[in-house]
């Protein structure tokens, strides 16, 4: 089964056709895609790509309802659209991708694969906010978690490579957005993001965890709500700390030149990351396997080394000579915790979920 994977980001569109053995048969990335009714990029791609048997779409938010891959029809599309308020940057783009694919490939099965679904296995203790019960019931307030497609693939693939079935894994998805997942025997039991993708680690331009009382104070001090949202989403994180931008490479260059703001940014970023990994380890009751993935996780050897050095108390011991490349072990042979770098392959996870749903023996035609 050839699967077209449609990954619509907040401003980009990634398209990839995977064959039955996950060989990449065709791919392209549109850096600036407006969404809406714009079908041109997908139409051009399909004209040159091999025929596809199914389409798998990445959808960021499944809310409390969608806890697994779901075949898309008009009703499902409407229910996904109803969740737009929970992911206003990403949900409309995903739906634009769905609409374009359904228009250009009528009759081809379309499947929604949700980033939140992987975390639906988290226990109530990990998902429940200590806020008034009336609020929780009225607005379905809970921790959902995100980057689930990446965490699912990275934790499973790393366990396979390491020969550690049933391992206690902390998966580190580090990119422009960043989150951790605690995975026990293939199931998510905790994660750092929450009701929205703003929570948890320091990110490129997102704040991560902030004292809610501080936000209330800012509102009372007169900061408009729109400015508060804009600041937390687009001007915080590494960008807000360093004042040179959210790209970790630029922050490192500035720090190397003595910029004190950049130096502080690196320290805050690294400390929050180590704290998060330790917290995920507590949720697991121990740690067998630590996995780095995502653009930063795969390519920043210095970050991996610094993180490992700060986690020596957990038994993490990195091998400096191995600390390069993807899909490789970078810990020493004697390390109590195996440390691996895994290439981010959300597309493989989406294709696998799409095939599993469509090949299910009890699926209705």
The CA distance from 145 to 181, in Å, is 9
327, 278 contact by CB (below 8 A): no
Neighbours of 294 (CB within 10 A): 23
Q: Tokens 């011991």 correspond to what residue? A: 317
Which of these, 292, 260, 294, 263, lies nearest to 276 by C-alpha position? 292
Cβ-Cβ contacts under 8 Å for 1 (sequence gap 6 or more)? 20, 53, 54, 355, 358, 359
Contact (CB, 8 A) for 146 and 195: no
Sheet holding 187-191, edge to edge: 187-191, 178-184, 168-174, 289-293, 338-341, 328-329
The crossing angle, in degrees rounded to 10, of helices 91-104 and 40-48 is 50
CA proximity to 144, closest of 191, 176, 201, 84:
191
Q: Return d(Cα 66, Cα 191) in angstroms, integer.
A: 18
Does the annotation mark 317 as catalytic? no
Catalytic residue among 53, 115, 227, 327: 115
Give the whole-angstrom CA distance, residue 291 versus residue 154: 7
The first and second tokens of residue 255, run together, are 């720090």
Q: Of 20, 106, 13, which is closest to residue 3 (Cα–Cα)?
A: 20
Q: What's the CA gap between 247 and 252, in Å, rounded?
A: 9
Q: Rounded CA gap, 127 and 118, in Å?
A: 13
Among the listed residues 274, 270, 127, 254, the one whose alpha carbon sits nearest the alpha carbon of residue 190 = 127
- DSSP 8-state class, residue 364: -
Active site residues: 115
């Amino acid at each position: 089964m050839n699967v077209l994977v449609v990954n619509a980001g907040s401003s980009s569109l990634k398209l990839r056709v995977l064959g039955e053995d996950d060989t990449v048969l065709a791919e392209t990335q549109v850096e600036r895609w407006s969404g809406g009714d714009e079908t041109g990029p997908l139409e051009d791609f399909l004209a040159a790509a091999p025929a596809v048997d199914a389409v798998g779409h990445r959808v960021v938010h499944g809310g409390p309802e969608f806890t697994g891959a779901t075949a898309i029809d008009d009703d499902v599309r409407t229910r996904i659209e109803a969740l737009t308020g929970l992911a206003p940057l990403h949900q409309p783009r995903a739906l634009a991708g769905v609409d374009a694919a359904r228009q250009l490939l009528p009759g081809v099965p379309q499947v929604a694969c949700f980033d939140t679904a992987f975390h639906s296995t988290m226990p109530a203790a990990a998902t429940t906010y200590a806020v008034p019960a009336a609020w929780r019931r009225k607005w379905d307030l809970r921790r959902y978690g995100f980057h689930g497609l990446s965490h699912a693939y990275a934790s499973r693939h790393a366990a396979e490579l390491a020969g550690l079935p049933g391992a206690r894994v902390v998966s580190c998805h580090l990119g422009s957005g960043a989150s951790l997942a605690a995975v026990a025997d293939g199931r998510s039991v905790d994660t750092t993001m929450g009701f929205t993708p703003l929570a948890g680690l320091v990110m490129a331009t997102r704040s991560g965890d902030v004292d809610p009382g501080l936000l209330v104070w800012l509102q009372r001090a007169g900061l408009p709500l729109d400015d508060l949202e804009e600041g937390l989403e687009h001007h915080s994180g590494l960008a807000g700390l360093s004042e040179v931008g959210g790209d970790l490479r630029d922050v490192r260059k500035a720090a190397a030149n003595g910029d004190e703001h950049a130096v502080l940014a690196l320290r805050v970023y690294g400390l929050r990351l180590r704290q998060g990994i330790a917290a995920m380890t507590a949720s697991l009751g121990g740690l067998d396997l630590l996995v780095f993935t995502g653009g930063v996780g795969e390519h920043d050897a210095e970050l991996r080394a610094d993180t490992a050095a700060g986690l020596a108390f957990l038994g993490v011991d990195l091998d400096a000579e191995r600390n390069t490349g993807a899909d490789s072990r970078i810990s020493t042979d004697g390390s109590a915790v195996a440390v691996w770098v895994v290439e981010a392959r959300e597309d493989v996870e989406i294709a696998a979920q799409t095939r599993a749903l469509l090949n299910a023996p009890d699926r209705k035609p």
